[in-house]
Amino acid sequence: MKIELKHWIILGVLALTWGSSFILIKQGLVAYTPYQVGALRLTIAGGILAIWGIPSLFKIPKNKLKYVALAGFCGNFIPMFLFPMAQTHVSSSMAGILDSLVPLFILLFGALFFNIKGTKNQVLGAIIGFIGAVLLIGGDGFSGENSLLHCLLIVLATALYGLNSLILTRYLNDVPSFQLSSALFTIWLLPSVLILIISGFFDVFEGTEQQLKSLGFVAILGLLGTALAMILFYRLIQSTGSMFASMVTYLMPVVSVFWGFLVGEKISWIHLFGFGMILSGVYLTQKKEKELQKI
């Protein structure tokens, strides 16, 4: 598939949006539990998109609805809870770096379950990009704020993201991205609301200044980082394929480090070297040695 300027622009917008999401999650966790943050994010996104999602459910072929539900489960529902759960003991920067595993899982699951073989350039580019992301975060390590067990929750989320991308490319590539996104979030809206109720959100919400502040951050996360971003992401997958779209996870740590710089975190030469490796990995995966086999 031909990569055009508009695809790079969408990739950049997604990197900025999702690269900032880890900080927004942290701010949401100040006042709410991980389950409440995840359920709020999904409820806000689903509540808005349901306006178009309900009619979309009747337009999508019935034989594809199970894949829509499965894609929503892997790519939206479960990860939205895994990230807040993990970030109770994982720094925002570490969460960003671990999210860079998505392209590797796409290559792995593509080969194991979808009979898709990546080119040598794609494999090498994915590895180089991931190493660059690791260097970018530098000295975080699995100590202090970062718990290995909680880091594994993010690894699980990235594996689900990879599986979701392959499902979308294989089974849902002909469904318009807005129709797909709105239907997907509508399907998982009711479970999200139920979890929000069970989590005790309405019992503890008193409208305090901190609760309202955290709610505002989660609302931004739900509207921009979830609803709008997912529409763009699905359009990008359908236009370019799952591998190029997943490159957003290599650019997200760049945004995370930028946020760190704004709050006074030190930027060293190893961060600059990591930037270079990430960009080299993105370039290498798109270098035309052989086209990725069409799904």
Which among 97, 96, 124, 132 is positioned nearest to 271, based on CA atoms? Answer: 132
Digit-coded pLDDT (tens) for 8-50: 899 889 988 888 888 889 899 999 999 999 999 999 999 999 9
**Domains contained in the chain, number:** 1
In a domain, 292, yes or no: no
In a domain, 120, yes or no: yes
In a domain, 243, yes or no: yes
In a domain, 245, yes or no: yes
In a domain, 173, yes or no: yes
Digit-coded pLDDT (tens) for 132-167: 767 765 554 444 555 678 888 988 999 999 899 899
Domain that holds residue 45: 5-286
Digit-coded pLDDT (tens) for 164-221: 989 998 999 889 889 999 999 999 999 999 999 999 999 999 989 999 999 999 999 9
- Concatenating the DSSP letter of every residue in 88-150 gives TSS-HHHHHHHGGGHHHHHHHHHHHHS-----HHHHHHHHHHHHHHHHHHTT--SSTT--HHH
In a domain, 205, yes or no: yes
Measured over all CA atoms, what is the biggest interatomic distance in the chain, rounded to whole angstroms? 59
Residue 267: pLDDT band (50, 70, 90) is low
In a domain, 295, yes or no: no
